[in-house]
Structure 1
């Protein structure tokens, strides 16, 4: 009887010890996982902190001096979260209409190109799109204005307004030959953080 009782105590003690070890391993794994999440969140917050808060509507002309002077991204903070941190500038963080974070960077070109990026709160990227038309550039007898807008209702409109004319032998515009057209895209920023854009459309002014 005493021997049986002794074996029962050993069995129970062994089971309790095994359960405690399992609990300790489980707790250790959880702590490690939480530590990893905290690290990701801290890195992402450091990245986001580069961006000043902007209110809607946002209107950007990528050729304006104040835009061309925008500071560059910190490469070390940004390499995990944008495609080309070496060639992107800071614009700002905009309000979101869902459970995600929205920022705008500016890609380098003849004029700076707005790039809209959306992320889950843990830093995972949802979507990213360069939103421009791309017809503006330094040509004779040719003028072009780039505009990008996000409205308070999260509608997106981007357009190149182009004025062109025939040139004389001195590359001067010939009066009466002017043509004006607008090439544009429309779209929206959805509640899930996806960026939807139409194909290019054209509208002639005269």
Structure 2
């Protein structure tokens, strides 16, 4: 079973950052388009300030504007081990805007290593439309239809993917991907990655199961 992931809205583990000095490179792709963004490693932001006064930084967080996914080096290692060379990871240092209070990791260690912005390098359209309750809209000129969640049901907001089915043969062998024309911008992981994240008790993500058939 695949998982849709989203940066958590739970205040305890939700962290925001801002690039320093401000660099428009990341803002140009605030909402990635229908192609994988082509960032320039030389101009990509390398330093971020942690917003607010929180003591602990979660393992996943916003790097700049949503939905820019930042992750701890341990999460990066898991993804790279399963899909080497598929995704881009840009190292960034995170510090406080003012003061010298150390930033702590979730296990109590002082943050002394970079985090990484993950540029997801795989896009898939895997929804089994005939077996899913989704909202289908006309696509761009000459393009395929756009598929989004149908949240008109009573439990849609609590279990948004409970009535979505993915083609198992399409997602088989993939471990991290972003929706293309179906669930554009949403990020998915395999059950293997989800389990690796779970056993390490990573913080900062919400998980939504998605059936495969």
With the shorter chain as reference, the TM-score category is under 0.3
Which of structures 1 and 2 has the bigger CA Rg? 1
Relative to total residues, which structure has the larger strand share, 1 or 2? Answer: 1
Relative to total residues, which structure has the larger helix share, 1 or 2? Answer: 1
Relative contact order, higher structure (CA 8 A, sep 6+):
2
TM-score (norm 2): 0.26
